[in-house]
Structure 1
Amino acid sequence: MVKRLLKSSKISWHSSFYAPGFYLLLGLSCISVTFIVLQATSFAQVFVAVLFLIIFCSLLIYKFPQYWHLIAIFLGVVITLCFINQRINELKIGEPIRIYSDQVKVSDNFFYGEGKLEKNKVLISGTANKSFEKELNKYHAIYLVNYKAKVETIMPATNPGEFDYQKYYRSKKIRKRVKLESYQIYPRQITIFDWVHMLRKFLMDYFEKMPQYTRFFASEMVLAQNPSADNKALLNSYRDLGIIHLLSISGLHVSLYILGIMWLGTMMKRTEEEVILCCVAFLIIEILLSNFQAGFVRASLSYFWSVFFNRKKIMISSGDKLGIVVLSHLIFNPLLFLNSGAILSYLLVFGLEISKNFGKIKQNIVLNSLVTPILLNNFYRINFLTVVYNFLIVPIFNFILLPLTFIVVFSFWCLPAIVKLSEPIFKGLADLTNFIADKQWGLVTFGQIDWLQTIFLLVVTVFLIILPKHKILKLKLRSIIVGAYVSMFFLIHFPLKGQVSFIDVGQGDSILITTPLNRKTYLIDTGGKLNFGKKKREPQLNRITLPFLYAQGIDHLDGVFLSHQDADHIGDLKALLDQIPVKKLYFARGLTENQSFMKKINGHLKDVQLVPLLAGDRVKTKDLSFDVVYPFKPGLGKNEDSLSLTFKLANKRWLFTGDLGREGEKEILNHYHLQVDYFKLGHHGSKTSSDPDFLKQLNPQLVFISSGRNNRFGHPHQETLKTLKDLSIPYLNTQDSGTITWNYSPFRGETITTFYKGNTK
């Protein structure tokens, strides 16, 4: 088709077809299309993406009018593929679910991972019976049949700043979660297409025999996966130092792999064709083993196309080669740019292309400037010393860690003792990385910039890099960039609005209170997971509350109020104190007699001021005063001892009572004549709280409920909801709305917003 079009247009294949700029612009146009179809969720986002598409297409047609047929074909193909991948296929529950041993993990008689139901990839989970793990490891591929299961749509993020698992799994073409209640196992006959899964499982078991840090680096470099939650701290250290890209097998590693294979080929006196075939075969196998990791696929495609152009003696610019790589990658995976890792990978390569004439130090600064907007939009924290850390650590990684990793991988089977050499080296470098990261040198909690700010900074930064040497214009652009970053920083850290935010921590409580301008920050409870098993879990604060705070540029708290001892209220207190400076802890008098509470704070007694409170006490600050209305006597932190607070913001009275029951509510009634505008229902909407007389006296205009979805307690209870209905009191529930935020401003009054709106695009 393409050849016919070219022939009819009388165009020279080797000249104008590879004219500089064509494929780069075409690639950018197709990227714009994917954002319009797959990611834009508002009119403004669609408008901006369409604007970019119009700009790129206009440039294409202006420079290459003879190729409008080809442009239309590519755009049509990408649009069609996007819509095909956007479509949600109905699951046929009852059909066999195919699973592979490398895609499922078994832990504490529970399994979870990925499976395939007909043509649909799904997440699966369930109880692992006695034969499950044995059969899975024996056959490597099995069917689950005659099963009973619940099917759920994967939830999106329900809090600002929280990682969006729905978007992540959507990029892997997974939309549904299947929770299996019962099933039977049927072995699947192994086919030639299953060898990759068997090889991955073999390598996973092989690496599992290695000690912790050797296993970590081997798994990351070969399989592109973290083998254990024990390495989370090390991963966070790499991220905080801005060197996480070293653990993502990408262009750097592809270059090293190719150099290694070429060196071996030279030593073995192989021909150039044989070496190239070995490189291509190795990269294809590694693409499969790394589960199509975006950065590695990009770098491998770049090598494949380079080989093709060299063999055909076709001259093409590096920018257009990047465009061709993008096009081929998008045709293979239209959902590519749902993944922030893919965006960063391509943006870095684009940065290398437009800064290829710069010196090494200047180029590193340029690359960091280019990716900073994406990092701030997705991770909220940046390290200004990243350039320094890269110069220090990249050589160590390239010449020590990576070669040693592959020496261990290839020799461990016959020389297990080699890990006695490798493990101290890996551990020493990991400890050094953790030590530097713990010092937080250069690390700044900037806060989250929105999508429009991200695009603006990217565009201005690109123009600054690619414009010719025009000192006055470049100075103006630098001033715009610096001014934009400073303005954004001050608007985030000195906000015009204050807030009361009910964070969606599931079945628990955590409420953030901030004041405008010279911001003060307070937290009522930390939330925490009720653990009914023996296994230790990662604090949910790490995936919910901390990102929520970091997204707002909050890196310390002026005070934390603790209602009582229950895990769903203060279970994550230790994790909070370990990671965020807290000036004062406020709690009901007597809680320090509770040994469980003291265990949480023992390591921080020198860092934080303890302030016990009873009814009648007042916590007064310049902008805000908290009045304590309960308890009236010391206690050990049970529900009936819940610290209860009232305060006023923007002439609106608030009341929080923790898990206080009806008896405690009546005591408050007897001592105080309270009327409030907003009230957080006690005990997550339990019928043991929210006495009708108490609610009548309070007469709130709106109440808030913090409860988990499908919680085992049935909160909020129907009796409580009936009481609210009878008294004509409206309510909002984090169960339905995700994070609920009440904002107030000296300039714009008050607003209430809910984060989760059921968007599934």
Structure 2
Amino acid sequence: MTLKILLQYRNRYLYIAMSLTLLILVINSVLYIIIAIPFLYYIYKNHSDLVKVILIFIGIYTMSLFAFNNLEIKEEDTYNVTVIKDIKTDNYTSFLGKINHQYIKVYFDENISIKPGDKLIIKGSTTIPSVSTIPNTFDYNNYLKSQNVKYTIFTDYVEEAGSSFSIYLLPYYIEKYIDKYQPLSGGYVKTFILAEKSGIDIEIKNQINQIGISHLFAVSGLHIAILVLTLEFFLKKTKLLEKQKENIIMALLLSYLLITSFSPSVTRASIMYVLLVVNKRYKLEFSSLDILSIIFIFLLFIRPYYYFDAGFLLSFLVTFTILFSSIILNKESKLHQLFLISFIAFLVTIPIILKLNHQINLLSLVFNIIFLMYVTYAILPLSYIAFLLPFFDKLNYVFIKIFEFILTLFSRIDILIFKFYFPNDITIIIYYVIVFFLLISLETNIRIKESLFSLILFLILIYMSPYFDFKKSVSFVDIYGDSILIKDSFNRCNILIDTGEYDDYDSLINYLKGKNIRKLDYLIISHFHSDHYGESEDILNEFLVDTVISKHNVLDYEDKTIQCGTIAMYIYPFSYKELNENNNSIIMSIFINDKHYLFTGDIEKSREIDFISEYNLDVDYLKVPHHGSITSSNQLFLDVIRPEEVFINVSVKNLHGHPHDEVIKRYEELGIIVYRTDLMGTIEVYYLFGKEYKRIHSP
């Protein structure tokens, strides 16, 4: 009965998948209603019998969301946790575990020897990681959600309590085998066998991303297709029946799912092969789009936040688009098909690639074809052979070094690398509408040049969007330490005051790139404590910086008004010879949109008193000295400058108790509005057409 119901909607499961996709988009941004309303109207008018089915599927997905969001782990003194997978050891230990059938990410501050299936007793408090408070940066909370993980736990107590069988022992022991028998090429063998890229040198991975061939090193549909073709080639030489050959391939693919720990693209490709075989065998007459849609829907039911996984997004987006484009592809020769597939995949993934890397390389279309051949016919098969026959490790390593040499050469070609970012969801919607019409043009051979011109023109406009931006802004970025970005309208001036502490995740850099900043007019280091200059070297490497100002050269810029676009900047004279480095902080005023901002670095009481003895300022907004420390924000200082509002750059992770309660009380008693990055996340003050707006990115 159930199968009969499913068969009723053949060739239309795409509409159900699209409905779920639009629901997800609207949940994350209400702007996507622009697309959702006409789509639903189309369904209602042309496929009214689907409405109830779509509502049922949406209901099931909503229940899945509700079930995940309401997961709870009861607070206890100790927890019994079973080790599942993703074991990492690097001066600490982390792994994915299970407590009472719920996934949890566990962190321990020492190296311990564990394997999947081990049972541990641990102590600690479960926490739900906060969402990212810095726009356009890595969101750990969303990453965990994509893995069906809600809680983390940091423990300092671990006790072994036995072990049990785990299906994840297979990839664990395979990894140990590769470490032992492929010492030279092991990083690449793990990539192609286990879908685990951690063994490849970070510099090589950066170069792979830069030239746009990272998909060749993510086990995907391409690799599954090659694996299936290889298996079919060898099975043809046997006397097995066609059905038996297919059963063997299906069994091996399902086993490979386990080996790759259910990597999104492997899951999609493997299940699709199995369903295509079942579809053919039982003459169900589902289309390829139906099958792909069913897989998409099923995976979202079991992992409602799977869409936060970039691999999941890229895998389904590219596969759907290629299936949509079958008419276009079938008209071309094999060579043209290869180029067109690369071109179409490149087009539809641009917004996602820009979100991940903040840049695209137009030469990746060429690089992709070159390296596709090399990886497909050299590194990939040699990695499989070296895995089975370890004495091929050295030969594989030779081909890998040739690849890395060519890769390094190509990565130095940066003439067609464009660094930009889609500024909002509206621009993404417009982009995909243009791509949709371009694909229609390619299919019908009508107005191809006009469609292509529209796409190129739109991308140029996005690239140039900072020059059309009417907004001015002052942003207090929620990093560890101080960092304030000041932007003029029309990209006339970009000033960065301090960079915060060194950050492996480059949160500040990604924030700036997300603002489409490619050049800083001024980088100002208020003083030389690491929570103010820690990221300065990375900033200088990533951006063109016209002028760096610090205490070493500030004499050239102080005691005069510096005009940067429509923003005026004034640095107050000082000797910078204090023993206390905090009191060597540069004090400066910024005048933007008729507002006076005073930036004080980490000055303490003595410097505050000296400052107000020389200057009697009318200040609108104050960047609170020294993160709200009790050593600063002296009462006399506040009585003199009397700001309307103050901004405290302070991390929720700071270990110094900033800001001090007494300091907060002083501001509040004076009726001053207090904004804090530890409570409010990144705070952005915008000026548009003479009016002020604030945007807060709360944790």
Q: TM-score by structure 1 length? A: 0.84
Q: Which moved more, 1:113-122 or 1:353-362?
A: 353-362
Q: 1:30 to 1:690 in 2, by over 3 A?
A: closer
Q: Structure 1 residue 573: deviation in Å?
A: 1.7
Give the SS at the match of 2:550. strand
After TM superposition, the structure 1 = structure 2 runs for residues 542-557 of structure 1, keeping only pairs within 5 Å, are 542-557=505-520
Picking from 427, 447, 450, the partner of 1:453 is: 427
**CA deviation map 1:275-307 (0-9, x unaligned):** 322321221122122222111111112111111
Letter in 2 for 1:750: E
Conserved in 1, the CA contact under 8 Å of 2:182 and 2:387? no
Q: 1:330 to 1:127 in 2, by over 3 A?
A: closer
**CA deviation map 1:595-634 (0-9, x unaligned):** xxxxxxxxxxxxxxx6655753554445334222153245
Give the SS at the match of 1:632. coil
Conserved in 1, the CA contact under 8 Å of 2:483 and 2:496? yes
Conserved in 2, the CA contact under 8 Å of 1:151 and 1:177? yes
Q: Which residue of 1 aligns with 2:87?
A: 104
Q: 1:57 to 1:253 in 2, by over 3 A?
A: farther
> Structure 2: how far apart are the matches of 1:212 and 1:552?
43
Q: 1:91 to 1:441 in 2, by over 3 A?
A: farther
> Structure 2: how far apart are the matches of 1:3 and 1:115?
36
Q: Does 1:722 align with 2:685?
A: no
Q: Which residue of 2 aligns with 1:119?
A: 101
Q: Which moved more, 1:326-335 or 1:197-206?
A: 326-335
> Structure 2: how far apart are the matches of 1:479 and 1:428?
38
Q: Which residue of 1 aligns with 2:417?
A: 443
> Structure 2: how far apart are the matches of 1:748 and 1:614?
29
Q: Which residue of 1 aligns with 2:17?
A: 27
Q: Does 1:215 align with 2:186?
A: yes
> Structure 2: how far apart are the matches of 1:3 and 1:421?
51
Conserved in 2, the CA contact under 8 Å of 1:614 and 1:634? no
Q: Does 1:396 align with 2:367?
A: no
Conserved in 1, the CA contact under 8 Å of 2:468 and 2:490? yes
Conserved in 2, the CA contact under 8 Å of 1:305 and 1:325? no
Conserved in 2, the CA contact under 8 Å of 1:499 and 1:513? yes
> Structure 1: how far apart are the matches of 2:540 and 2:438?
42
Give the SS at the match of 1:448. coil
Q: Which residue of 2 aligns with 1:488?
A: 462
Q: Structure 1 residue 266: deviation in Å?
A: 3.1
Q: Which residue of 2 aligns with 1:141?
A: 117
Give the SS at the match of 2:176. helix
> Structure 1: how far apart are the matches of 2:445 and 2:228?
41
Q: 1:691 to 1:630 in 2, by over 3 A?
A: farther
Conserved in 2, the CA contact under 8 Å of 1:261 and 1:278? no
Conserved in 1, the CA contact under 8 Å of 2:423 and 2:515? no
Q: Does 1:647 align with 2:590?
A: yes
Q: Which residue of 2 aligns with 1:163?
A: 138
Q: Does 1:698 align with 2:641?
A: yes
Conserved in 2, the CA contact under 8 Å of 1:588 and 1:613? no
> Structure 2: how far apart are the matches of 1:52 and 1:378?
29
Give the SS at the match of 1:648. strand
Tell me the number of residue pairs that the alignment of Structure 1 and Structure 2 aligns. Answer: 691
Conserved in 1, the CA contact under 8 Å of 2:628 and 2:659? yes
> Structure 1: how far apart are the matches of 2:35 and 2:234?
50
Q: Structure 1 residue 492: deviation in Å?
A: 3.2
Q: Which residue of 2 aligns with 1:523?
A: 496
**CA deviation map 1:433-487 (0-9, x unaligned):** 2443344232111223322322332233223313586677666655554454344
Give the SS at the match of 1:583. strand
Conserved in 2, the CA contact under 8 Å of 1:588 and 1:635? no
> Structure 2: how far apart are the matches of 1:268 and 1:433?
40
Give the SS at the match of 2:243. helix
> Structure 2: how far apart are the matches of 1:185 and 1:50?
55
> Structure 2: how far apart are the matches of 1:118 and 1:398?
43
Q: Does 1:408 align with 2:386?
A: yes
Q: Structure 1 residue 318: deviation in Å?
A: 3.0
Give the SS at the match of 2:464. helix
Q: Does 1:288 align with 2:258?
A: yes
Q: 1:177 to 1:588 in 2, by over 3 A?
A: same
Conserved in 2, the CA contact under 8 Å of 1:33 and 1:78? no
**CA deviation map 1:11-48 (0-9, x unaligned):** xx7xxx475x3222233234334545xxx145444675
Give the SS at the match of 1:582. strand
Q: Which moved more, 1:267-276 or 1:450-459?
A: 267-276
Picking from 574, 582, 598, the partner of 2:545 is: 582
> Structure 1: how far apart are the matches of 2:108 and 2:259?
26
Q: Does 1:197 align with 2:168?
A: yes
Q: Which residue of 1 aligns with 2:365?
A: 387
Q: Which residue of 2 aligns with 1:369?
A: 347
> Structure 2: how far apart are the matches of 1:457 and 1:348?
16
Q: Which residue of 1 aligns with 2:157?
A: 182
Q: Structure 1 residue 97: deviation in Å?
A: 3.4
**CA deviation map 1:664-696 (0-9, x unaligned):** 122222222222111111111111111111122
> Structure 1: how far apart are the matches of 2:614 and 2:401?
60
Give the SS at the match of 2:549. strand
After superposition, the CA RMSD in angstroms is 2.9
**CA deviation map 1:295-342 (0-9, x unaligned):** 111111211111112222444433333333333434444433232322
Conserved in 2, the CA contact under 8 Å of 1:447 and 1:554? no
> Structure 1: how far apart are the matches of 2:22 and 2:213?
29
Conserved in 1, the CA contact under 8 Å of 2:526 and 2:601? yes
Give the SS at the match of 1:177. strand
Picking from 687, 695, 713, the partner of 2:656 is: 713
Q: Does 1:248 align with 2:223?
A: no
> Structure 2: how far apart are the matches of 1:339 and 1:50?
26
Q: Which moved more, 1:24-33 or 1:290-299?
A: 24-33
Q: Which residue of 2 aligns with 1:9?
A: none
Structure 2, gaps ≥5 residues long? none
Q: Which moved more, 1:461-470 or 1:450-459?
A: 461-470
Picking from 300, 303, 306, the partner of 1:336 is: 306
Q: Structure 1 residue 526: deviation in Å?
A: 1.3
Conserved in 1, the CA contact under 8 Å of 2:563 and 2:569? yes
> Structure 1: how far apart are the matches of 2:647 and 2:345?
46
> Structure 2: how far apart are the matches of 1:56 and 1:492?
39
> Structure 2: how far apart are the matches of 1:740 and 1:68?
43
Q: Which residue of 2 aligns with 1:500?
A: 474
Q: Which residue of 1 aligns with 2:525?
A: 562
Q: 1:481 to 1:558 in 2, by over 3 A?
A: same
Q: 1:470 to 1:561 in 2, by over 3 A?
A: same
Q: Which moved more, 1:475-484 or 1:401-410?
A: 475-484
Letter in 1 for 2:71: I
Q: TM-score by structure 2 length? A: 0.91
Q: Which residue of 2 aligns with 1:512?
A: 485
Q: Structure 1 residue 259: deviation in Å?
A: 1.3
Give the SS at the match of 2:81. strand
Conserved in 2, the CA contact under 8 Å of 1:630 and 1:642? no
Q: Does 1:265 align with 2:238?
A: no
Q: 1:151 to 1:100 in 2, by over 3 A?
A: closer
Letter in 2 for 1:520: C
Conserved in 2, the CA contact under 8 Å of 1:587 and 1:613? no
> Structure 1: how far apart are the matches of 2:290 and 2:175?
38
